[in-house]
Amino acid sequence: MSSFSYKYHYICGNQVFILMKNNKDLGPIQKTVVGAQFLFVAFGATVLVPLLVGLDPSVALFTAGVGTLIFHLVTKGKVPIFLGSSFAFIAPIVKATELYGLPGTLSGLVAVGAVYGIMSALVRLRGVGFISRLFPPVVVGPVIMLIGLSLAGTGVDMAKSNWPLAIVALLTTIAVSMFGKGLLRLIPIFAGIVVGYIAAAIFGLVDFQPVIEAPWLAWPAFVRPEFSWEAIIFMLPVAIAPVIEHIGDVYAINEVAGKDFVKDPGLHRTMLGDGLACIASTCIGGPPVTTYSEVTGAISLTKITDPAVIRIAAVFGILFSVLGKISALLKTIPSAVLGGIMLLLFGTIASVGVNSLIKNKVDLGNTRNLVIASLILTLGIGGAEMTFGSITIGGIGLSALVGVTLNLILPRSKAKTNESTQA
């Protein structure tokens, strides 16, 4: 048997997952099957975000597909990355929608894409190190923690509408995360939604009438942004965390694919592609998109690194978005099911922030670091807001802005602070 023809097969439900040692072994049909399964990996998280913030999940599927194709166009089709709905913006979208309405909030999210463009230019001119100095772990870690902690109350409120149902969804998600094998382990959110939904249906907690009445084919409910300076100022600082996440995910796919995408096509191109995808998504009522580590995990598992397979997954996302009955089905998911999953998900996000501090050996015994981290968390959790005329900035955005500013102006202690990792 040739060294290029090893094939392994895993059965997961009705899914046959094909693992191959070399992308050249994949024929058109096999690429299509694997591409569909890569979308399956990203599906749960992609539709969960819009369900939580009041957007149309079909729009999110459509924009994930279109955004991924835009990313691949900008990166010359070289980087096997899938873009899906970003969790970093859940709390800011909820709060901004209360203040400025959904169309105004979308204008703020469009501006987030422009931040990626600016960062792309800075990376090209100054290198990656400049971004690391501007957004060090002592800032990024607490901001990520805040993203998760600020949503804790929302998760509990949704879960307590039916605690037994929430616990079923939660335990399923935990079990799949810890004990799942192969592909199954990559879809804990999707598994939690499916099992929770089935449990709800068994106990008569799901109204299927909207699904019955929905057409088989229907365009997603696109929404046009309305310009709002207030929403733009509110959203811009929130882009700090996903920008750093983007850099981390590109380095991760480097390791998986065995290539240096930071050099070719260049981190500036991947960041620009992500930014343009965000703009395209939010211009039609979708959530901001970000690089999906779930799909990177699937690539690592299968050893299939051909970017064409990711583009096939993107096309499947677009096709699924126009199936009206799928959109209607997603909207009938009980809030308690989503709440149960959120209890774990948002805690996990906060834990990622803690791990960032630990991994980068940030010394919180150092007064400078302690001040920065403390103020980010206190201002964010406490709901601090600052008003300048008709413009109000608060929450995660204000906390991130304060963190970046303090990092730039507070003096560093040479005796205690390693500038490259802590400041």
Compute the distance between CA of residue 322 and CA of residue 112 in angstroms, rounded to an integer.
Answer: 27
pLDDT tens digits, residue range 134-146? 889 999 899 889 8
* C-alpha R_g of the chain: 21
How high is the pLDDT of residue 110? 96
Of 217, 234, 7, 194, the closest CA to residue 108 belongs to 234
**pLDDT bucket at 14, cuts 50 / 70 / 90:** very low
Q: Give 183's DSSP letter.
A: G
Compute the distance between CA of residue 296 and CA of residue 253 in angstroms, rounded to an integer.
Answer: 6
How high is the pLDDT of residue 414? 60
10 φ/ψ angles, rounded to the nearest 5 degrees: -115, 135
Helices (H), 54-127: 57-74, 90-126
Sign of the CA dihedral with 307 first, then 309, 310, and 311 last: positive
How high is the pLDDT of residue 23? 54
Q: Give 79's DSSP letter.
A: -
Compute the distance between CA of residue 58 and CA of residue 62 in angstroms, rounded to an integer.
Answer: 6
How high is the pLDDT of residue 19? 40
Structure tokens belonging to residue 169: 């969804």
**pLDDT bucket at 405, cuts 50 / 70 / 90:** very high
**pLDDT bucket at 349, cuts 50 / 70 / 90:** confident
Q: Are 95 and 75 in contact (CB under 8 A)?
A: no
Q: Classify 392 as helix, strand or coil.
A: strand
Compute the distance between CA of residue 223 and CA of residue 226 in angstroms, rounded to an integer.
Answer: 10
pLDDT tens digits, residue range 351-389? 988 988 999 999 999 999 999 999 999 999 998 888 877
Q: Are 151 and 91 in contact (CB under 8 A)?
A: yes
Half-sphere exposure of 207 (CA within 13 A, CB side): 7
Compute the distance between CA of residue 153 and CA of residue 38 in angstroms, rounded to an integer.
Answer: 32
pLDDT tens digits, residue range 63-120? 999 999 999 999 999 999 999 999 889 988 998 999 899 999 999 999 999 999 999 9
- Is 422's pLDDT higher than 70? no
Structure tokens belonging to residue 219: 């365009």
Q: Out of 48-52, 56-60, 388-392, pick the least confident.
A: 388-392
pLDDT tens digits, residue range 178-218? 998 877 888 999 999 999 999 999 999 999 999 999 999 99
To the nearest whole percent, how much of the chain has pLDDT over 90? Answer: 60
pLDDT tens digits, residue range 225-267? 999 998 999 898 888 878 888 988 898 899 888 899 999 999 9
pTM, entire model: 0.83
Structure tokens belonging to residue 78: 């070289």
End-to-end Cα spacing for the chain: 53
